[in-house]
Amino acid sequence: MRENNDATIKGNKSFPFFDEANTAGNEIPEYIIVKSGLKVRVADAEWLLLQNKGKGNLIKLAWLRSGELSNKEIELALLVFIHYVINKSASTAYTVVIGVRPVIQSGFPSIEDLMIAWSSLGLNKKKATNQFFGTLVRLGYREFEKFHQFTSSNLDTKVIDPLNPFKGRLSELEFDSVVQNLNQEIASIDFSIDRDYDFFDRLGNAGFFSFGILRNLVSVRLLIAILRRPIQVAMLKWSDLIPVGSSFNDKLITGCNEILNIGTAALQLRLYRVKSNVKEAWYRSTPERYPMALSEDLSLLIYNYKLIYAKGLNLALLKSGIDLAKEEVIEIMENMPVFISKDFFCLRLNDVASYKALFTQHSSLYHLGEQTIIQRLKSLKGISDRTSNLSVTSNRLRHTALTRGAEKGLDSAQLSRLTGVTEPAARHYVDLDYQSRRLIDENYLANQFLKNAFAVPVRSLDKNDEVILGSNFEKIGGVKDIKACSQCKTKLGRPIGCYGCPSFRPLLDADHRTVLDQANAKLSANIVHLPSSVINRSVEKLERQIDKIKITIALCDELINQQDRINDQ
């Protein structure tokens, strides 16, 4: 490492800049406008990049003036960081800054020192270092070409293991159980209750159902449906959700790509790209080319959520002494975030114009930080025998969808449109073949862990239980959550579709073998009448239910045998 002769800069309140001629012709401005639209003073030790608390909302740069770097090195680092905060997302800029810090904070290394230290750096630090020196070269500093050549040619190849229990795709059972549990949680919500202001104001209070809990549930349900990044969900405004058949009137979304009438009441959703080459320094500046149609059920959920949201906005306005008609409240909501920060309901302004001025098409104020969505996603519960702590992330959801899509025969363009990843990225999703995946799922199902995870069979039902009947009207089991069960839309129907559901209580002495025979007969009929090219995916759900019925039978037999042994003693 080179010797530092710039100890005089230590403790300065702002960054001093190298006053010699800049060979690349770049200058450090006093102020910049970052990607989100915020104005930042470059000399400050902290740069606020977002108005919400998402990843990268604040970058700390006090270490730049710690006395370890020369004035020239500070200038070069600032040029790179300025480039990123202006042209890239706050999350990307933050990743580069924290990643390159260990490499340059004691002074820029020589090429030899970088080579020696390279193997000790983690993958993220290597990527950040490569981006840092690559940006310097693009800015005209040719003396760093050797650095960039070395870093770019020595990046580790990150191989995704599709069966990794923590980062790989979710198994069919894991995914289904997660979605089932989430749907049951949402189904238990009574949207008809009239909420007061406390419902919106107590967002952080534990032990109470509140708007914050509802907001987080809906955001995660939407994320699972659209298979995008949490930040893309956090970026949404109400103007991005319009009825199918309507127009966004957006110059970047052509009329032929908008969704016309599809014969049902549903919403279409406009999504914005996080990663874009557009240098426009605005939040939400680049929409995806194709809007996305939401299912009728999800559209209804968002509609009910919007009604409650509008009630909360109206109550917040009343707290400020502003009484508006319903139509005027909806108008104010147009550019408000769909998933709003809890701080908004504490806001007090004097007039309607002040509220409207807070929210524009490109404003980021009061948008929920994506970390809240990430944490709620991670808290989802499901059944897994691979780990006792099943982790659900947006990356795993997209990987699962891409894998399934590839198995269905979708091409890279279709996979890209489905998940929002680039076509080159979609081409990499060549996963296990169908038979290999079925073998793995069968191994997941047929073990003691999952037997214990299933609802324990019971001798009798409570008098208030709803009864699940077989084809001959015999009792097969009961229901734990009647409301959730009444809204269940399993395509396999009762009782076949009930097995494995968290709400199903199988009867110990019921004739589950007859249900198994019926399911096997249904499977055989489907296989006979379907072309061989489409059998795998179309009957897969039924195959999994057959496995679950077998587990239930095995568990019932085991409990009955245990009871018989006790009685014989």
Boundaries of every domain in the chain: 7-153, 172-378, 454-568
pLDDT of 434 above 60: no
Given a contact cutoff of 8 angstroms between Cβ atoms, the answer to whether 445 and 380 are in contact is no
**Range of lowest pLDDT (156-165, 291-300, 384-393):** 156-165
Measure the CA–CA gap between 99 and 554, rounded to whole angstroms.
52
Determine the residue type at 147: F
Residue 22's pLDDT is: 41
* Confidence category of residue 375, pLDDT binned at 50, 70, 90: very high
- Long-range CB pairs of 407-413 (<8 Å, 24+ gap) are 407/431, 407/433, 407/434, 407/437, 407/536, 407/537, 408/537
Measure the CA–CA gap between 220 and 212, rounded to whole angstroms.
12
Letter string b/e over residues 284-323, b meaning 16 or more CB atoms within 10 A of that residue's CB: bbebbebbbbbeeebbebbebbbebbbbbbbbbbeeeebe
Beta strands at 267-269 and 241-243: parallel, antiparallel or unpaired: antiparallel
Number of H helices, E strands in the chain: 22, 10
Residue 530's pLDDT is: 59
**Which residues are 174's β-sheet partners?**
none
pLDDT of 278 above 60: no
User: pLDDT tens across 503-545, in order?
Assistant: 788 998 889 999 999 999 988 887 776 555 444 555 777 888 8
Given a contact cutoff of 8 angstroms between Cβ atoms, the answer to whether 300 and 306 are in contact is no
Determine the residue type at 404: R
**Range of lowest pLDDT (21-25, 173-177, 481-485):** 21-25
**Across 454-478, average pLDDT:** 80
**Across 289-318, average pLDDT:** 93
- Among the listed residues 346, 349, 310, 347, the one whose alpha carbon sits nearest the alpha carbon of residue 327: 310
Q: Strand, coil or helix: what is 557?
A: helix
Q: Rounded to the nearest 10 degrees, what angle do helices 211-226 and 370-378 cross at? A: 80
pLDDT of 89 above 90: no
Residue 336's pLDDT is: 96
Residue 272's pLDDT is: 92
Residue 162's pLDDT is: 61
Measure the CA–CA gap between 222 and 224, rounded to whole angstroms.
5
Residue 443's pLDDT is: 59
Alpha helical stretches, state H, 119-161: 123-138, 145-153
Residue 37's pLDDT is: 79
pLDDT of 293 above 80: yes
Residue 298's pLDDT is: 94
Q: Is 444 or 180 the better-scoring residue by pLDDT?
A: 180
Residue 285's pLDDT is: 81
Residue 167's pLDDT is: 80
Place of tokens 């990987």: 399
pLDDT of 1 above 50: no
Percentage of the residues of the chain whose pLDDT score is greater than 70: 83
Residue 11's pLDDT is: 32
Residue 225 class from Cβ within 10 Å (0-12 exposed, 13-18 middle, 19+ buried)?
Answer: middle
Number of C-beta neighbours around residue 109 at 10 A: 18
Q: Strand, coil or helix: what is 316?
A: helix
Highest mean pLDDT among 302-316, 398-412, 413-427, 436-450: 302-316
Alpha-carbon 124 to chain mean position: 20
pLDDT of 473 above 60: yes
Residue 489's pLDDT is: 65
Measure the CA–CA gap between 493 and 389, rounded to whole angstroms.
31
Given a contact cutoff of 8 angstroms between Cβ atoms, the answer to whether 377 and 361 are in contact is no
0.85 exceeded by pTM: no
Highest mean pLDDT among 14-28, 131-145, 174-188, 257-271: 131-145
pLDDT of 256 above 90: no
